[in-house]
Amino acid sequence: MKKNQINGIIFDLDGTLYLGDAALPGAPKVCSELRRQGMRLIFVSNKPLDGREAYAAKLTRLGIPATPDEVITSAHVLGLHLKHTSPALRLYVIGEENTRAELSRHGLIVLDERLDQDPREVIDPRGIDAVVVAFDRTLDYRKLNTAYQALMQGAHFYATNADKTCPMPGGAIPDAGATIQALETITGRKVELIAGKPSGLILKQASETLGLPPDRCMMVGDRIETDICMGVEAGMHTALVLTGVTRREEIEESGVQPEFVLETLSDLLDVI
Ligand SMILES: [Mg+2]
């Protein structure tokens, strides 16, 4: 491959650039070398616990200087998408403060959750145009019921991401996918839109942010069924790193073929 065919790299984070709270070997050097070559970098995450500033700060702390503008999260993508397609929807958000703040930042109408916490002031489901499901460690019966009633009355059904669990130090905890499935089961409906990986929306946003067509971008990640699958579908170059979830023997059975398979991220410099 000629070096000038790729001008932007989109990195998955966990398992690709770092594991938990430590940079993977070579990651800081690779990113600084790519920047030196004039590559534009984007960092994407489905993980909904933090905002874009926090990811940029973490990357910077781990030796990979990054700005919030270079970080794309599933909540950010959903906010941008709704801002462009249906900015007047009144949103009922099952989610934590970061998600609510991210959606509000795009000028969207996020219904006041405090009303919903007062038993005398339950949000009227008829006033809800769309339910947004995100990671929420304060999920309770009231929220589930409000979302259920709104969905039964025809509200749209959106989600930031569909991961069933969220990896944490010491073990995984339930994520938005668990709530989506609960609501799908009780309403008989299917979620209409998922902003995060492996949805094409997140890479569409990444290539727009880079200002590059998909064929001049490369998606680099450790999970073949999300990172690589969506990269291939978006028409991007792809590189799978074997430092995270996917093992080499799983590539064939996945039915997805990465353009490059790298033992470590340092090998990336040899292929672009
Ligand atoms: Mg990963």
> Domain 3-46+198-271 sits in which CATH superfamily?
HAD superfamily/HAD-like (3.40.50.1000)
More confident residue, 89 or 3: 89
Q: 55-81 burial, b for 16+ CB within 10 Å, e for fewer? A: bbebbeebebebeeebbbbbbbbbbbb
More confident residue, 173 or 87: 87
What local confidence, expressed as pLDDT, does residue 184 receive? 98
Average pLDDT for 93-100: 93
Report the separation in Å between the CA atom of 221 and the middle of ligand 1, taken as the mean of its atom positions.
Answer: 6
- Split at pLDDT 50, 70, 90, the class of 171 is confident
Q: 117 — phi, psi (to 5°)?
A: -90, -10
Average pLDDT for 230-238: 97
More confident residue, 123 or 207: 207
- Domain residues of the chain, as ranges? 3-46+198-271, 76-194
Report the separation in Å between the CA atom of 152 and the middle of ligand 1, taken as the mean of its atom positions.
Answer: 35
Q: 126 — phi, psi (to 5°)?
A: -70, -20
Chain-wide mean pLDDT for the chain? 93
Catalytic annotation, residues: 12, 14
What local confidence, expressed as pLDDT, does residue 118 receive? 60
Report the separation in Å between the CA atom of 201 and the middle of ligand 1, taken as the mean of its atom positions.
Answer: 17
What local confidence, expressed as pLDDT, does residue 20 receive? 85
What local confidence, expressed as pLDDT, does residue 114 receive? 65
Tens digits of residue pLDDT in 25-55 = 999 999 999 999 999 999 999 887 789 999 9
Which has the minimum average pLDDT: 77-91, 113-127, 156-170?
113-127
Tens digits of residue pLDDT in 108-162 = 999 976 655 565 566 889 999 999 999 999 999 999 999 999 999 999 999 999 9
Question: In sequence order, what are the beta bridge partners of 165?
Answer: 174
Q: 187-223 burial, b for 16+ CB within 10 Å, e for fewer? A: beeebebbbbbbbebbbbbbbebbebebebbbbbbbb
User: In the CATH scheme, what architecture does the domain 76-194 have?
Assistant: 3-Layer(aba) Sandwich (3.40)
Intrachain domains 3-46+198-271 and 76-194 with the same fold: yes
Report the separation in Å between the CA atom of 225 and the middle of ligand 1, taken as the mean of its atom positions.
Answer: 11
pLDDT surpasses 60 at 3: no
Report the separation in Å between the CA atom of 223 and the middle of ligand 1, taken as the mean of its atom positions.
Answer: 6
Under DSSP, is residue 106 helix (H, G, I), strand (E, B) or coil? coil
